[in-house]
Structure 1
Amino acid sequence: MSTGPASPKPPRPTAAELEAARDALIPDVIAPRLKVLFCGINPGLWSGAVGLHFARPGNRFWPALYASGFTPELLVPSRQRELLALGLGISNVVDRTTARADELTADELREGGRKLAEKAAEFRPGWIAVVGVTAYRTAFARRDAQVGPQPDPMAHSKVWVLPNPSGLNAHWSAAALAAEFARFREAAGVPAAGPDRQRGAGG
Protein backbone atom coordinates (compact mmCIF):
# COMPACT_ATOMS: atom_id res chain seq x y z
CA MET A 1 0.00 0.00 0.00
CA SER A 2 1.37 3.39 -0.91
CA THR A 3 2.01 5.89 1.85
CA GLY A 4 2.15 8.81 -0.63
CA PRO A 5 5.19 10.73 -1.84
CA ALA A 6 8.09 10.91 0.55
CA SER A 7 8.51 14.23 2.31
CA PRO A 8 11.99 15.75 2.54
CA LYS A 9 13.62 15.26 5.90
CA PRO A 10 13.95 18.50 7.89
CA PRO A 11 17.44 19.65 8.85
CA ARG A 12 18.80 17.96 11.96
CA PRO A 13 18.98 20.43 14.87
CA THR A 14 22.48 21.18 16.10
CA ALA A 15 23.52 20.49 19.69
CA ALA A 16 23.31 24.21 20.39
CA GLU A 17 19.81 24.41 18.92
CA LEU A 18 18.70 21.46 21.03
CA GLU A 19 20.07 23.03 24.20
CA ALA A 20 18.43 26.36 23.34
CA ALA A 21 15.08 24.56 22.99
CA ARG A 22 14.81 23.82 26.72
CA ASP A 23 11.54 25.16 28.11
CA ALA A 24 10.31 26.10 24.62
CA LEU A 25 6.57 25.97 23.94
CA ILE A 26 4.90 24.41 20.91
CA PRO A 27 1.40 25.56 19.90
CA ASP A 28 -1.33 22.97 20.13
CA VAL A 29 -2.87 21.51 16.99
CA ILE A 30 -6.43 22.01 18.16
CA ALA A 31 -9.92 23.10 17.15
CA PRO A 32 -13.35 22.84 18.77
CA ARG A 33 -15.14 19.48 18.92
CA LEU A 34 -12.43 17.26 17.48
CA LYS A 35 -13.02 13.52 17.44
CA VAL A 36 -9.76 12.90 19.33
CA LEU A 37 -7.24 15.15 21.04
CA PHE A 38 -3.98 13.23 21.47
CA CYS A 39 -1.97 14.49 24.45
CA GLY A 40 1.72 13.80 24.83
CA ILE A 41 3.48 13.98 28.18
CA ASN A 42 5.54 17.01 27.12
CA PRO A 43 7.64 17.90 24.08
CA GLY A 44 11.26 16.80 23.83
CA LEU A 45 14.14 19.06 22.85
CA TRP A 46 14.02 17.96 19.22
CA SER A 47 10.36 18.93 18.99
CA GLY A 48 11.11 22.21 20.72
CA ALA A 49 13.94 22.99 18.31
CA VAL A 50 11.81 22.46 15.20
CA GLY A 51 8.49 23.61 16.69
CA LEU A 52 6.62 20.40 15.81
CA HIS A 53 4.98 17.67 17.89
CA PHE A 54 6.45 14.15 18.12
CA ALA A 55 9.27 15.28 15.83
CA ARG A 56 12.25 13.28 17.07
CA PRO A 57 13.28 10.55 14.60
CA GLY A 58 12.43 7.21 16.12
CA ASN A 59 9.25 8.43 17.78
CA ARG A 60 6.51 6.07 16.63
CA PHE A 61 3.49 8.35 17.04
CA TRP A 62 3.08 9.14 13.33
CA PRO A 63 3.63 5.54 12.14
CA ALA A 64 1.15 4.31 14.78
CA LEU A 65 -1.47 6.79 13.58
CA TYR A 66 -1.10 5.52 10.05
CA ALA A 67 -0.84 1.80 10.85
CA SER A 68 -3.95 1.99 13.05
CA GLY A 69 -6.07 3.74 10.42
CA PHE A 70 -6.26 7.21 11.94
CA THR A 71 -4.53 8.76 8.90
CA PRO A 72 -4.82 7.72 5.24
CA GLU A 73 -1.07 8.02 4.72
CA LEU A 74 2.05 8.23 6.82
CA LEU A 75 2.32 11.87 7.82
CA VAL A 76 5.49 13.59 8.96
CA PRO A 77 5.57 16.18 11.77
CA SER A 78 5.68 19.12 9.33
CA ARG A 79 2.21 18.08 8.14
CA GLN A 80 0.73 18.02 11.64
CA ARG A 81 -1.99 20.57 10.90
CA GLU A 82 -3.49 18.19 8.34
CA LEU A 83 -4.79 16.24 11.33
CA LEU A 84 -7.44 18.88 11.94
CA ALA A 85 -9.25 17.97 8.71
CA LEU A 86 -9.45 14.39 10.03
CA GLY A 87 -10.95 15.56 13.32
CA LEU A 88 -7.72 14.94 15.23
CA GLY A 89 -5.46 17.22 17.25
CA ILE A 90 -2.38 17.27 19.47
CA SER A 91 -1.69 18.82 22.85
CA ASN A 92 0.48 17.94 25.85
CA VAL A 93 -0.05 17.44 29.56
CA VAL A 94 2.90 19.77 30.24
CA ASP A 95 3.76 22.42 27.67
CA ARG A 96 7.47 23.01 28.29
CA THR A 97 10.15 21.01 26.54
CA THR A 98 12.69 18.91 28.40
CA ALA A 99 15.40 16.47 27.42
CA ARG A 100 13.58 13.66 29.27
CA ALA A 101 10.08 13.27 30.64
CA ASP A 102 11.49 12.36 34.06
CA GLU A 103 12.71 15.96 34.39
CA LEU A 104 9.10 16.96 35.07
CA THR A 105 8.01 17.22 38.69
CA ALA A 106 4.86 15.65 40.07
CA ASP A 107 3.54 19.16 40.74
CA GLU A 108 4.09 20.10 37.08
CA LEU A 109 2.21 17.03 35.94
CA ARG A 110 -0.70 17.70 38.30
CA GLU A 111 -0.89 21.33 37.18
CA GLY A 112 -0.72 20.14 33.56
CA GLY A 113 -3.60 17.78 34.22
CA ARG A 114 -5.66 20.64 35.61
CA LYS A 115 -4.95 22.79 32.55
CA LEU A 116 -5.75 19.91 30.22
CA ALA A 117 -9.12 19.51 31.91
CA GLU A 118 -9.76 23.22 31.30
CA LYS A 119 -8.81 22.74 27.66
CA ALA A 120 -11.21 19.79 27.42
CA ALA A 121 -14.01 21.95 28.79
CA GLU A 122 -13.25 24.71 26.28
CA PHE A 123 -12.73 22.66 23.10
CA ARG A 124 -14.92 19.65 23.94
CA PRO A 125 -13.18 16.88 21.98
CA GLY A 126 -15.04 13.60 21.87
CA TRP A 127 -12.04 11.79 23.29
CA ILE A 128 -8.79 12.73 24.96
CA ALA A 129 -6.04 10.17 24.43
CA VAL A 130 -3.09 10.57 26.80
CA VAL A 131 0.02 8.85 25.43
CA GLY A 132 1.86 7.73 28.53
CA VAL A 133 0.28 5.84 31.42
CA THR A 134 2.87 6.79 34.06
CA ALA A 135 2.36 10.51 33.48
CA TYR A 136 -1.42 10.03 33.44
CA ARG A 137 -1.33 8.31 36.83
CA THR A 138 0.52 11.25 38.37
CA ALA A 139 -1.30 14.06 36.57
CA PHE A 140 -4.77 12.78 37.45
CA ALA A 141 -4.09 10.96 40.74
CA ARG A 142 -5.01 7.59 39.24
CA ARG A 143 -2.26 5.39 40.66
CA ASP A 144 -3.72 2.16 39.31
CA ALA A 145 -4.61 3.37 35.82
CA GLN A 146 -3.75 1.03 32.96
CA VAL A 147 -3.57 1.47 29.20
CA GLY A 148 -7.09 1.57 27.79
CA PRO A 149 -10.38 3.36 28.56
CA GLN A 150 -10.63 5.31 31.82
CA PRO A 151 -13.75 5.40 34.00
CA ASP A 152 -13.79 9.15 34.58
CA PRO A 153 -14.37 11.70 31.81
CA MET A 154 -12.39 14.92 31.50
CA ALA A 155 -15.01 17.65 31.39
CA HIS A 156 -17.29 16.33 28.59
CA SER A 157 -14.59 14.20 26.93
CA LYS A 158 -14.08 10.47 27.31
CA VAL A 159 -10.53 9.43 28.17
CA TRP A 160 -8.28 6.66 26.86
CA VAL A 161 -4.65 6.08 27.86
CA LEU A 162 -2.32 4.91 25.10
CA PRO A 163 1.26 3.65 25.43
CA ASN A 164 4.06 6.18 25.12
CA PRO A 165 5.16 6.03 21.44
CA SER A 166 8.75 7.02 22.23
CA GLY A 167 11.30 4.71 20.66
CA LEU A 168 12.72 4.30 24.17
CA ASN A 169 9.55 2.51 25.31
CA ALA A 170 10.79 -1.02 24.70
CA HIS A 171 7.78 -2.55 26.46
CA TRP A 172 5.69 -1.90 23.34
CA SER A 173 6.77 -3.09 19.91
CA ALA A 174 5.73 -1.07 16.86
CA ALA A 175 3.12 -3.72 16.00
CA ALA A 176 1.68 -3.80 19.53
CA LEU A 177 1.59 0.00 19.63
CA ALA A 178 -0.30 0.15 16.32
CA ALA A 179 -2.72 -2.52 17.52
CA GLU A 180 -3.50 -0.53 20.67
CA PHE A 181 -4.01 2.66 18.67
CA ALA A 182 -6.38 0.68 16.40
CA ARG A 183 -8.27 -0.71 19.40
CA PHE A 184 -8.79 2.85 20.58
CA ARG A 185 -9.83 4.07 17.12
CA GLU A 186 -12.50 1.41 16.85
CA ALA A 187 -13.76 1.99 20.40
CA ALA A 188 -13.95 5.73 19.68
CA GLY A 189 -16.01 5.09 16.55
CA VAL A 190 -13.51 6.76 14.22
CA PRO A 191 -13.71 5.19 10.73
CA ALA A 192 -10.46 3.97 9.21
CA ALA A 193 -9.07 6.79 7.09
CA GLY A 194 -8.97 6.21 3.34
CA PRO A 195 -11.32 4.22 1.10
CA ASP A 196 -9.03 1.20 0.87
CA ARG A 197 -8.21 0.82 4.56
CA GLN A 198 -9.27 -2.30 6.45
CA ARG A 199 -10.27 -2.25 10.08
CA GLY A 200 -7.54 -2.77 12.64
CA ALA A 201 -3.80 -2.26 12.74
CA GLY A 202 -1.93 -2.33 9.49
CA GLY A 203 -4.92 -1.32 7.36
Structure 2
Amino acid sequence: MSPEELQAARDHVIPDVIAGGLRVLFCGINPSLMSGATGHHFARPGNRFWPVLHRSGFTPRQLKPYEQDELLVYGLGITNVVARATARADELAAEEFREGGRLLTEKVERLRPQWLAVVGVTAYRTAFGERKAQIGPQERTIGGARLWALPNPSGLNAHWSVQAMAQEYGRLRAAAEDSAGKQRRKAAPEGGAER
Protein backbone atom coordinates (compact mmCIF):
# COMPACT_ATOMS: atom_id res chain seq x y z
CA MET A 1 0.00 0.00 0.00
CA SER A 2 1.41 3.38 -0.97
CA PRO A 3 1.97 6.25 1.49
CA GLU A 4 -0.65 8.23 -0.44
CA GLU A 5 -3.24 5.46 0.00
CA LEU A 6 -2.50 5.31 3.72
CA GLN A 7 -2.81 9.09 4.10
CA ALA A 8 -6.11 8.99 2.20
CA ALA A 9 -7.43 6.64 4.94
CA ARG A 10 -6.95 9.30 7.66
CA ASP A 11 -10.20 9.80 9.61
CA HIS A 12 -11.89 6.79 7.95
CA VAL A 13 -14.24 4.87 10.24
CA ILE A 14 -14.30 1.09 9.94
CA PRO A 15 -17.32 -0.98 10.97
CA ASP A 16 -17.34 -2.77 14.30
CA VAL A 17 -17.38 -6.55 14.40
CA ILE A 18 -20.22 -6.89 16.90
CA ALA A 19 -23.32 -8.75 17.92
CA GLY A 20 -25.45 -8.91 21.03
CA GLY A 21 -24.42 -11.15 23.93
CA LEU A 22 -20.75 -11.70 23.00
CA ARG A 23 -18.40 -13.44 25.44
CA VAL A 24 -15.75 -10.73 24.95
CA LEU A 25 -15.91 -7.44 23.10
CA PHE A 26 -12.33 -6.29 22.44
CA CYS A 27 -11.95 -2.54 22.25
CA GLY A 28 -8.98 -1.00 20.48
CA ILE A 29 -7.79 2.56 20.96
CA ASN A 30 -8.57 3.62 17.38
CA PRO A 31 -7.91 2.24 13.89
CA SER A 32 -4.49 2.67 12.28
CA LEU A 33 -4.22 4.15 8.79
CA MET A 34 -3.71 0.59 7.49
CA SER A 35 -6.97 -0.46 9.18
CA GLY A 36 -8.69 2.62 7.76
CA ALA A 37 -7.43 1.75 4.26
CA THR A 38 -8.30 -1.97 4.40
CA GLY A 39 -11.45 -1.83 6.54
CA HIS A 40 -9.98 -4.49 8.87
CA HIS A 41 -9.19 -4.11 12.57
CA PHE A 42 -5.59 -4.52 13.78
CA ALA A 43 -4.43 -4.68 10.13
CA ARG A 44 -1.00 -3.11 10.54
CA PRO A 45 1.63 -5.82 9.91
CA GLY A 46 3.47 -5.13 13.21
CA ASN A 47 0.32 -5.38 15.29
CA ARG A 48 0.32 -8.50 17.46
CA PHE A 49 -3.43 -8.74 18.22
CA TRP A 50 -4.13 -11.72 15.94
CA PRO A 51 -1.14 -13.86 17.06
CA VAL A 52 -1.85 -13.05 20.72
CA LEU A 53 -5.54 -13.90 20.34
CA HIS A 54 -4.59 -17.33 18.99
CA ARG A 55 -1.77 -18.03 21.48
CA SER A 56 -4.05 -17.13 24.39
CA GLY A 57 -6.59 -19.74 23.26
CA PHE A 58 -9.36 -17.44 22.06
CA THR A 59 -9.15 -18.77 18.48
CA PRO A 60 -8.14 -22.28 17.30
CA ARG A 61 -5.85 -20.81 14.64
CA GLN A 62 -4.33 -17.43 13.92
CA LEU A 63 -6.85 -15.40 11.96
CA LYS A 64 -5.84 -12.78 9.41
CA PRO A 65 -7.30 -9.28 9.71
CA TYR A 66 -9.52 -9.90 6.67
CA GLU A 67 -11.05 -12.88 8.54
CA GLN A 68 -12.22 -10.64 11.40
CA ASP A 69 -15.90 -11.56 10.99
CA GLU A 70 -15.05 -15.16 12.01
CA LEU A 71 -14.59 -13.82 15.56
CA LEU A 72 -18.36 -13.75 15.94
CA VAL A 73 -18.40 -17.57 15.68
CA TYR A 74 -16.26 -17.66 18.86
CA GLY A 75 -18.44 -15.12 20.70
CA LEU A 76 -15.87 -12.36 20.20
CA GLY A 77 -16.09 -8.90 18.67
CA ILE A 78 -14.09 -5.73 18.05
CA THR A 79 -14.84 -2.03 18.47
CA ASN A 80 -12.72 1.05 19.26
CA VAL A 81 -12.74 3.81 21.87
CA VAL A 82 -12.32 6.37 19.07
CA ALA A 83 -13.68 5.39 15.66
CA ARG A 84 -11.48 7.50 13.33
CA ALA A 85 -8.24 6.24 11.80
CA THR A 86 -4.97 8.04 12.59
CA ALA A 87 -1.27 7.33 12.07
CA ARG A 88 -0.67 7.31 15.84
CA ALA A 89 -2.93 7.22 18.90
CA ASP A 90 -1.22 10.34 20.28
CA GLU A 91 -2.98 12.33 17.53
CA LEU A 92 -6.23 11.89 19.47
CA ALA A 93 -7.35 14.52 21.98
CA ALA A 94 -8.34 13.63 25.54
CA GLU A 95 -11.86 14.91 24.74
CA GLU A 96 -12.13 12.31 21.94
CA PHE A 97 -11.23 9.56 24.42
CA ARG A 98 -13.81 10.78 26.94
CA GLU A 99 -16.52 11.05 24.27
CA GLY A 100 -15.44 7.63 22.99
CA GLY A 101 -15.84 6.26 26.53
CA ARG A 102 -19.37 7.65 26.67
CA LEU A 103 -20.31 6.14 23.29
CA LEU A 104 -18.64 2.85 24.22
CA THR A 105 -20.69 2.72 27.43
CA GLU A 106 -23.91 3.15 25.40
CA LYS A 107 -22.80 0.41 22.97
CA VAL A 108 -21.98 -2.03 25.77
CA GLU A 109 -25.28 -1.33 27.55
CA ARG A 110 -27.11 -2.06 24.29
CA LEU A 111 -25.13 -5.17 23.20
CA ARG A 112 -24.53 -6.64 26.69
CA PRO A 113 -21.28 -8.59 26.20
CA GLN A 114 -20.08 -10.56 29.22
CA TRP A 115 -16.68 -8.81 29.13
CA LEU A 116 -15.37 -5.57 27.62
CA ALA A 117 -11.61 -5.83 27.10
CA VAL A 118 -9.90 -2.50 26.39
CA VAL A 119 -6.56 -3.11 24.66
CA GLY A 120 -4.45 -0.32 26.07
CA VAL A 121 -4.49 0.66 29.72
CA THR A 122 -3.80 4.32 28.88
CA ALA A 123 -6.87 4.40 26.64
CA TYR A 124 -8.89 2.77 29.42
CA ARG A 125 -7.67 5.34 31.97
CA THR A 126 -8.51 8.29 29.72
CA ALA A 127 -11.85 7.00 28.39
CA PHE A 128 -13.18 6.14 31.85
CA GLY A 129 -11.37 8.73 33.99
CA GLU A 130 -9.60 6.08 36.07
CA ARG A 131 -6.02 7.35 36.18
CA LYS A 132 -4.72 4.56 38.41
CA ALA A 133 -6.16 1.59 36.51
CA GLN A 134 -3.72 -1.27 35.91
CA ILE A 135 -3.65 -4.18 33.47
CA GLY A 136 -6.16 -6.84 34.52
CA PRO A 137 -9.79 -7.04 35.68
CA GLN A 138 -11.39 -3.77 36.75
CA GLU A 139 -13.94 -2.99 39.45
CA ARG A 140 -16.15 -1.06 37.03
CA THR A 141 -18.99 -2.79 35.20
CA ILE A 142 -21.13 -1.45 32.37
CA GLY A 143 -24.65 -2.80 31.96
CA GLY A 144 -23.63 -6.10 33.53
CA ALA A 145 -20.40 -6.42 31.51
CA ARG A 146 -17.17 -6.86 33.45
CA LEU A 147 -14.17 -4.84 32.28
CA TRP A 148 -10.56 -5.89 31.71
CA ALA A 149 -7.64 -3.69 30.66
CA LEU A 150 -5.23 -5.55 28.39
CA PRO A 151 -1.80 -4.59 27.06
CA ASN A 152 -1.87 -2.77 23.75
CA PRO A 153 -0.80 -5.25 21.01
CA SER A 154 0.77 -2.52 18.87
CA GLY A 155 4.31 -3.26 17.76
CA LEU A 156 5.21 0.08 19.37
CA ASN A 157 4.45 -1.41 22.80
CA ALA A 158 7.86 -3.10 23.00
CA HIS A 159 7.92 -3.80 26.76
CA TRP A 160 5.22 -6.48 26.32
CA SER A 161 6.35 -9.60 24.45
CA VAL A 162 3.89 -11.73 22.48
CA GLN A 163 4.26 -14.45 25.12
CA ALA A 164 3.57 -12.08 28.05
CA MET A 165 0.56 -10.59 26.25
CA ALA A 166 -0.76 -14.06 25.43
CA GLN A 167 -0.58 -14.94 29.14
CA GLU A 168 -2.58 -11.82 30.10
CA TYR A 169 -5.14 -12.39 27.33
CA GLY A 170 -5.29 -16.02 28.49
CA ARG A 171 -6.22 -14.84 32.01
CA LEU A 172 -9.18 -13.01 30.47
CA ARG A 173 -10.13 -16.08 28.40
CA ALA A 174 -10.14 -18.24 31.54
CA ALA A 175 -12.28 -15.67 33.38
CA ALA A 176 -14.70 -15.48 30.45
CA GLU A 177 -14.99 -19.28 30.33
CA ASP A 178 -15.57 -19.38 34.09
CA SER A 179 -18.32 -16.72 33.83
CA ALA A 180 -19.96 -18.60 30.96
CA GLY A 181 -19.90 -21.83 32.99
CA LYS A 182 -21.52 -20.10 35.95
CA GLN A 183 -24.24 -18.66 33.71
CA ARG A 184 -24.96 -22.11 32.21
CA ARG A 185 -25.21 -23.63 35.69
CA LYS A 186 -27.64 -20.88 36.74
CA ALA A 187 -29.76 -21.49 33.66
CA ALA A 188 -29.84 -25.30 34.08
CA PRO A 189 -33.02 -26.50 35.76
CA GLU A 190 -32.49 -27.68 39.33
CA GLY A 191 -31.61 -31.34 39.42
CA GLY A 192 -31.24 -31.39 35.63
CA ALA A 193 -28.02 -32.27 33.90
CA GLU A 194 -26.15 -29.68 31.88
CA ARG A 195 -25.88 -30.50 28.21
For the pair 1:168 / 2:136, whether they are aligned, the reply is no
For the pair 1:83 / 2:75, whether they are aligned, the reply is no
Greater C-alpha Rg: 2
Which of 26, 29, 32 in structure 2 is aligned with 1:38?
26
Contact 1:35 1:190 in 2 (8 A): no
CA deviations over 1:89-145 (Å, ceiling 9, x no partner): 000000000000000000000000000000001100000000000111011000000
TM score, norm. by length of structure 2:
0.90
The aligned amino acid for 1:130 is V
Unaligned runs of 5+ in 1: 1-12, 192-203
**Structure 1 vs Structure 2: percent identity of aligned residues?**
64
Query: What's the CA shift for 1:171?
Result: 1.3
Equivalent residue number for residue 111 of structure 1: 99
For the pair 1:54 / 2:42, whether they are aligned, the reply is yes
CA deviations over 1:19-44 (Å, ceiling 9, x no partner): 00000000000000000000000001
TM score, norm. by length of structure 1:
0.87
Query: What's the CA shift for 1:58?
Result: 1.2
The aligned amino acid for 1:31 is A
For the pair 1:187 / 2:175, whether they are aligned, the reply is yes
CA-based RMSD of the aligned residues comes to 1.1
Q: Secondary structure at the match of 2:40?
A: coil
Q: How many residues are aligned here?
A: 179
Distance 1:136 1:154 in 2: 13
Unaligned runs of 5+ in 2: 180-195
Q: Secondary structure at the match of 2:26?
A: strand
Q: Decide which structure has greater helix share.
A: 2
The aligned amino acid for 1:169 is N
Distance 1:171 1:146 in 2: 15
